[in-house]
Amino acid sequence: MTRDREATSRRILEAARDLFAAHGYDQVTMRMIAAEAGANVALVNRYFGTKAALFAEALATGSTIESVIAGDPAGLAGRLAHRLAVRLQSGATEPVTRMVDRAGTSPEIQAILHAHVEATIIKRIAAQLDGPHPEQRALLAATMILGTGSVRRLFGPGVIEAVDAEEVEARLKAMFEICLRP
Amino acid sequence: MTRDREATSRRILEAARDLFAAHGYDQVTMRMIAAEAGANVALVNRYFGTKAALFAEALATGSTIESVIAGDPAGLAGRLAHRLAVRLQSGATEPVTRMVDRAGTSPEIQAILHAHVEATIIKRIAAQLDGPHPEQRALLAATMILGTGSVRRLFGPGVIEAVDAEEVEARLKAMFEICLRP
DNA sequence: TTGACAAGTAAACAAGCGTCTACTAACTCT
DNA sequence: AGAGTTAGTAGACGCTTGTTTACTTGTCAA
């Protein structure tokens, strides 16, 4: 066994991210994470402190939703709509996004999640908007983003597979335009 | 102590509903429920079987969202928008609705939740709609309803208190009209 | 009044959890 | 080559969980 702290801690972080995304915070144990990473349980605590801290670090891994938000403000509604339509259809979704949906209900986790959503979604969308109360409108957009996650979690991927995906995307786009416009 | 099975089991059910709504499925223990109901822990299992079964029964207690959906289909978007706007402002929310938001991530609970949302939200909204794919449009409405729950859970009640609540309600109404119309 | 049934109780069960401590073994530097 | 640092390990600790078992107590019919 080669000894490489950096590689090991990275494997732990990735294992944590994937498992939290797949099964939710409460369902994942430290021992599961260690096993998935091929590491010892004690190392998880040694490198990341507590389970909640590990969750927070995994959340900070970075999400591609940020790149969807960035870009031409005029096309923001369309990009978000496309992203959500894909999420409702496709089985493969980005880990960090799923972590948010399946996060637990403990106060500590809620606080971590709150900060993450505020920083990566609300603030960044609000920064793209003109007119009064940009954060209020960004909050409505977040409602749709988080709602899509809930629906996907409950109904499973491919829930709109059988029906017209393009129509859904068009509706989502119109809804985003309403909630984002000044 | 008067011995009354019916009253005791009702107290347990109400305690479970309120605690699940307040803290989420995973954070609530059987002992907490028993204490809140002023009953013995063993009775909770005796009367309701398992924790998950108790959760399911508490969920079936009935929600006022059903009465919001029922009524004149023409005013459905407005009624839903009003309901959600109130939910984003007010501290007091109906227990069953909060149970849905704060439910756990275990497969068993997900299945219970899936059935509940499908029966009380999707089906009932779809029944009000004309045109093709009513369930697809009901699913988009459910996205907003569930999304509001997530936002409220993360950001706390009163998140839009400081800003213009009427404007938010108007936006929500327009968004619902788009996702519900044929 | 007594006996039987049901409501309620106390205590333990077995399992699982996150976390920590004491130890081993590999790598590095002089 | 040997000492010191550090990655990695094994195992236990203490606690909490949902659930069950064995027991006690109140209630009501005969």
A21-25 contact pairs (CB < 8 A, 24+): A21/A95, A21/A96, A21/A97, A21/A98, A21/A99, A21/A102, A22/A98, A23/A102, A23/B105, A24/A102, A24/A103, A24/A104, A24/B104, A24/B105, A24/B106, A25/A55, A25/A99, A25/A102, A25/A103, A25/A104, A25/A106, A25/A109, A25/B105
Interchain contact, A142 vs B136, CB within 8 Å: no
pLDDT confidence tier of residue A158, bands split at 50, 70 and 90: confident
Interchain contact, B146 vs A151, CB within 8 Å: yes
Closest nucleotide to A2 by C1' from CA: C26
Q: In whole numbers, what is the pLDDT of chain A averaged over residues?
A: 94
Query: Whole-number Å distance, CA A39 to C1' D6?
Result: 16
Instruction: List, for residues A46-76, the tens digit of each pLDDT value.
Output: 999 999 999 999 999 989 999 999 999 999 9
Closest CA to A159 of A108, A98, A84, A104: A84
Instruction: List, for residues A163-173, the tens digit of each pLDDT value.
Output: 688 999 999 99
pLDDT along chain B (182 residues), means of 10: 91 98 97 98 98 98 93 97 92 88 95 97 97 94 97 85 82 97 92
Query: Whole-number Å distance, CA A3 to C1' D3?
Result: 20
- Write out the two tokens for B52: 């998950």
Q: Is the Cβ of A105 closer than 8 Å to some Cβ of chain B?
A: yes
Can you give the pLDDT at residue A163?
66
CA B101 to chain centre: 7
Helices (H), B60-106: 65-69, 76-89, 95-101
Can you give the pLDDT at residue A175?
98
Q: Which of the two residues, B43 and A158, has the higher pLDDT score? A: B43
Give B-chain residues touching A24 at CB under 8 angstroms: 104-106
- Look at residue A133 and tell me whether its pLDDT is greater than 70: yes
Task: Give the residue-averaged pLDDT of A131-140.
Answer: 94
Instruction: List, for residues A3-51, the tens digit of each pLDDT value.
Output: 999 999 999 999 999 999 999 999 999 999 999 999 999 999 999 999 9
SS (H, E, C) chain A: CCCCHHHHHHHHHHHHHHHHHHHCCCCCCHHHHHHHHCCCHHHHHHHHCCHHHHHHHHHCCCCCHHHHHCCCHHHHHHHHHHHHHHHHHCCCCCHHHHHHHHCCCCHHHHHHHHHHHHHHHHHHHHHHCCCCCHHHHHHHHHHHHHHHHHHHHHHCCCCCCCCCHHHHHHHHHHHHHHHHCC
pLDDT confidence tier of residue A156, bands split at 50, 70 and 90: confident
Query: Whole-number Å distance, CA B47 to C1' D18?
Result: 14
Give A-chain residues touching B159 at CB under 8 angstroms: 139
Can you give the pLDDT at residue A160?
67
pLDDT confidence tier of residue A93, bands split at 50, 70 and 90: confident
